[in-house]
Amino acid sequence: MKGELSNLAMDTQDLNKTNRRHCVHASLRQSSRLITSFYADAMHDSVLQGTQFTLLSTIAAMPQCTVSTLSDYLVMDQTTVTRSVKLLEQAGFIQFKKLKDRRKRQLIVTAQGQQALDDAYPLWLAAQEHIWAHLSEDDIKQILTLGNKLAALSKESTIK
Amino acid sequence: MKGELSNLAMDTQDLNKTNRRHCVHASLRQSSRLITSFYADAMHDSVLQGTQFTLLSTIAAMPQCTVSTLSDYLVMDQTTVTRSVKLLEQAGFIQFKKLKDRRKRQLIVTAQGQQALDDAYPLWLAAQEHIWAHLSEDDIKQILTLGNKLAALSKESTIK
DNA sequence: AACAAATATATGTAGATACATGTTTTTATG
DNA sequence: CATAAAAACATGTATCTACATATATTTGTT
């Protein structure tokens, strides 16, 4: 670096000064920390962490969900999913079911897991409503479509 | 949840179907994972992790940098910064300098740390260029300004 | 059928993250 | 000045994350 602050975030006034000194990586991670904190506050009274809510609700909605299909869908490393679902299993929110293909383990939400989801849902929804009330439709669309753009970015990468 | 997939990400075709089932939290964390992976690939040959590059370059640029001022600037928890700078110190990239106020420790980049920064800089810049080449100016501005909007969101939160 | 390749999952290790709490030092207040 | 309050930093604990690698099982090939 050249001795200047890397300006993770930008002020609205700085819009026209966008240049490559602003680190997209640092900025996005900061946003991730902020949104994580926001949802953590909103779901404080739930037994589920924000991330666990995402995992559990996805498992509940995916037919024939396994570690692999889950990690594909959420774009998480398989080993991360293995560890995360282990915590959900230990908490009693899911259980593993053996399949004919004995390498696979189907993930099934238990009654206790469904109850946790039902209890957490209004808290999650309140957080969502708050977001929709305070961010513009454009901002939200941008956030929700960013993943696709970044995935494309990695695929066509000529860097490595 | 109601048994539907929460649709973390959206397809471009889904733009007009934006609704509160799309989880901003999950989507943003996914983007954070993707961008982290992208920069990690780009900086594979550096001794610095992407996050360490952010920390170290910020320390280098901040006058009178301490754990507190650094955590304020980067919007990270103080305990996270304490642990992160400890790793940088153990790697020889920074050192701690005692101040008159003996509670504080000034963070100072060592020659070795500066060398690591200089070596990593072109790799980081190549990643930046790649981003600028493949994302629209609007997308990038959006990313770089998102932090401010989310920070405001948390402040005025009525949820908790 | 035998063996190589691919698939699914797990484990070792380590960094990033933050909450609750503790310690030390400084500042403020009576 | 003495004591309470605040500030700065550290530690215990726990989740999230992923790379390298290992193990088990299935599939493909000869």
Q: How many helices (H) and strands (E) does chain A have?
A: 6, 2
**Neighbour count for residue A45 (Cβ, 10 Å):** 9
pTM of the model: 0.88
How far, in Å, is the CA of B20 from the C1' of nucleotide D17?
Answer: 27
| Both tokens assigned to B104 | 């504080």
- Determine the residue among A31, A39, A57, A154 to mutate to test chain B binding: the one whose Cβ has the most chain B Cβ atoms within 10 Å: A31
Tell me the one-letter amino acid at A18.
Answer: T
End-to-end CA distance of chain B: 21
pLDDT at B11: 52
> Is strand D less than 7 A from the beta carbon of B80?
no
Closest-CA residue of B relative to A80 is B33
Give A77-102 pLDDT, tens digit per residue.
999 999 999 999 999 999 999 999 99
Give residue B152's pLDDT band: very low, low, confident or very high (50, 70, 90). Answer: confident
DSSP state of B4: S
Nearest CA to A99 among A68, A56, A121, A137? A68
Q: Where are the alpha helices (DSSP H) in chain B?
A: 24-42, 50-61, 67-74, 78-90, 111-134, 137-155
Chain B, window 32-61: residues with a beta carbon less than 8 angstroms from a chain A beta carbon: 32-39, 41-42, 44, 50-51, 54, 57-58, 60-61
Please list, in sequence order, all residues whose beta carbon lies within 8 angstroms of the beta carbon of residue A3, skipping any fewer than 6 positions away: B60, B61
Q: Give the pLDDT mean for B60-74.
A: 96
Lookup: tokens for B97? 């300098």
Task: Say if the Cβ atoms of A24 and B35 lie within 8 Å.
Answer: yes
Mean pLDDT to the nearest integer, A151-157: 71
Partner residue opposite A1 with nearest CB, options B1, B23, B61: B61
Residue A129 has pLDDT above 70, yes or no: yes
Alpha carbon B138 to its chain's center: 20
Q: Which residue has the tokens 């946790």?
A: A116
Tell me if residue B43 falls in helix, strand or coil.
Answer: coil
How many residues appear in chain B? 160
Distance CA B150, CA A134 (A): 9
Contact in structure between B74 and B55 (CB atoms under 8 Å) = yes
Minimum CA–C1' distance nucleotide for A104? C8
Q: Within 10 Å of residue A112's Cβ, how many Cβ atoms?
A: 14
Q: Which of residues 92-151 of B touch A (CB under 8 A)?
A: 117, 121, 124-132, 134-135, 137, 139-151
pLDDT(B151) > 70: yes
Percent pLDDT > 90 in chain A is 81
The closest CB to that of A29, out of B30, B32, B150, belongs to B32
- Please tell me whether any atom of strand D lies within 7 Å of the Cβ of A52: yes
A62 near B CB under 8 A: yes
Instruction: Using alpha carbons, select from B38, B27, B156, B19 the residue that is nearest to residue A32.
Output: B27
Shortest CA to C1' contact from A77: nucleotide: D18
Cβ–Cβ gap A29/B20 under 8 Å:
no
Nearest CA in chain A to B2: A61
Unique residue bearing structure tokens 């320390």: B59
Mean pLDDT lowest among A8-22, A33-47, A120-134, A142-156: A8-22
The pLDDT, as a whole number, for residue B110 is 97
Our measurement of the distance from residue A135's CA atom to the centroid of its chain's CA atoms, rounded to an integer in Å, reads 19
Contacts 24+ apart (CB under 8 A), B69-72: B70/B107
What is the CA A89 to chain-centroid distance, rounded? 19
Distance CA B58, CA B76 (A): 13
Contact B41 A147 (CB under 8 A): no
Q: Which two tokens stand for residue A15?
A: 């819009």
Give the count of Cβ contacts less than 8 A between chain A and B. 248
pLDDT of residue A17: 53
pLDDT of residue B15: 46
Residue A160 has pLDDT above 90, yes or no: no
Residue B146 — very low, low, confident or very high, per pLDDT cuts 50/70/90? very high
Pick among B132, B143, B148 to test the A interface (most A CBs inside 10 A): B143
φ and ψ of B138, to 5 deg: -60, -45
Taken in order A37, A42, A44, A49, the sign of the CA dihedral is negative
